[in-house]
Amino acid sequence: MHVGHPFRVDGNGRTAVATEDDYVRQLIEQVLFTAPGERVNRPDFGTGLAGLVFEPAGDELRAAVEYVVQAGLQRWLGDVVQVEDVSVADDGLGDLSVTVSYVTLSSQERAAVTLRSGPSATGALPITTPPMAAP
Write the pLDDT tens digit of every residue in 70-114.
999 999 999 999 999 999 887 766 677 889 999 999 889 999 999
DSSP notation for 53-108? GGSPPSHHHHHHHHHHHHHHHHHHHTTTEEEEEEEEEE-SSS-EEEEEEEEETTTT
Provide the number of structural domains found in the chain. Answer: 1
CB 5 within 8 A of CB 25: no
Structure confidence at residue 124 (pLDDT): 45
**Residue span of the structural domain in which 46 resides:** 2-132
pLDDT in tens, 61-70: 888 889 999 9
Q: CATH number of the domain at 100, please.
A: 3.10.450.40
* The model scores a pTM over 0.85: no
Nearest alpha carbon to residue 33 among 87, 82, 78, 69: 69
